[in-house]
Amino acid sequence: MPLPWTSRLALRVQRALSYAGFVLFGPVLMALYRFRFRFSAHAVKQIRAEYRALRAAHPGPLLICSNHLTLVDSIIQAVVLGSLWDYLKHPASLPWNLPEVKNFYQRWSWRLVCYLGRCIPVQRGASPQQAKLVQARMHYVLDRGDAIAIFPEGKRSRDGRVDDRDFSYGVGQLLNQIPKAQVLCVYLRGMRFGGFADFPKIGERFYLQMQMLSPQSAAKGLRRARDLSAQVVARIKAMEADYFSARASGQLALPDGR
Amino acid sequence: MNEAEITEKVIALITPYVKNRDALVGISKDTSILGDLGVNSARLVDIVLAFEDAFNIEVSDDAADSITTVGDAVALIGKLVA
């Protein structure tokens, strides 16, 4: 579906305003993260260096596919993946997000935050026509070399673990449309409290692991979308297993040794 | 294959994915697969792929998007197997 020029223009304006807004609100966000909620991340310098290197090596469209536990995973992920300076220098590295209308678009203040935070709202159970319009928007920003953060499961993991049985095929459908898009699989989890929640608890320390993936399938259409999505989810599931085995063996510990 | 046979097979293929089991009792051609039966959009893709395997047909993405009710699925399959 071709995106109308008004929608293309709207996305370009949103991108420009979000950049300007980021200069103003980025430091506020970082301050809230660090001082109000006392969040931190394991090996954050290493993670940011890795993401910078990945974006330098793969400057085109990027789908950042991660597990989904809290309502603010996209924000936490963005903060952990890059510093203010990283995003000001490389705006294409700051991912677009796909929040659900029901969760974030009821209040004007949140609408503004979502607008400036590079969000493309999505609606669960939308008509095929509405879904196509959203996909066309995603297609457009990816084509311009930006990154999109997407949750391949299509929902939060209620039991705290990646659901590799009942997941959405949205990632595969996007990859069908934009075969040149790269996939970066991310596993993000709070090390202190972790698990399913609306919001991480104060003092949470985040663990983030990332791996590039090139999903392949000889099939076409919907079958290909399903194959590709399954490979992405399987990789994130494997990263989750890595996390728990590293925690159990003591290879990965909190600063207080727990 | 006549319409009744297609309908019976379509319902059998949809049934494992139905969340709202009560809606199966009065299932008809007007029953919405997503709305009434509580099937989510990803599982609708699985159902379409099950149709492809069971009826030995190929459903395009656009045709798959046009399936809303049981009757839509039956009509589409009827056209493709003819």
- The nearest CA of chain B is from the CA of A166 a distance in Å of 8
Task: Say whether residue B66 is in contact with chain A using an 8 A CB cutoff.
Answer: yes
* A160-207 confidence digits (pLDDT tens): 999 999 899 989 989 998 889 999 999 999 999 989 999 999 999 999
- Could B42 and A221 be called an inter-chain contact, meaning their C-beta atoms sit closer than 8 Å? no
CATH class, domain A5-232+239-249, is: alpha beta
pTM of the model: 0.91
- Could B49 and A222 be called an inter-chain contact, meaning their C-beta atoms sit closer than 8 Å? yes
The domain limits of chain A are 5-232+239-249
pLDDT at A107: 84
Residues B8 and A8: their CA atoms lie apart, in Å, by 45
Q: What is the ipTM of this complex?
A: 0.83
Task: Say whether residue B61 is in contact with chain A using an 8 A CB cutoff.
Answer: yes
- Could A222 and B41 be called an inter-chain contact, meaning their C-beta atoms sit closer than 8 Å? no
pLDDT at A2: 82
The secondary element (H helix, E strand) that includes residue A187 is strand A182-190
What domains can you pick out in chain B, each with its CATH number? 3-81 (1.10.1200.10)
Range name among A50-54, A146-150, A228-232, B36-40 with the lowest pLDDT average: B36-40
pLDDT at B77: 96
What does chain A come to in residues?
Answer: 258
Return contacts of A100-106, CB within 8 angstroms, 24+ apart: A100/A124, A103/A71
- Could B41 and A166 be called an inter-chain contact, meaning their C-beta atoms sit closer than 8 Å? no
What does chain B come to in residues?
Answer: 82
pLDDT at A108: 87
Task: Say whether residue B46 is in contact with chain A using an 8 A CB cutoff.
Answer: yes
* A105-151 confidence digits (pLDDT tens): 778 888 888 999 999 998 877 777 788 889 899 999 999 999 999 99
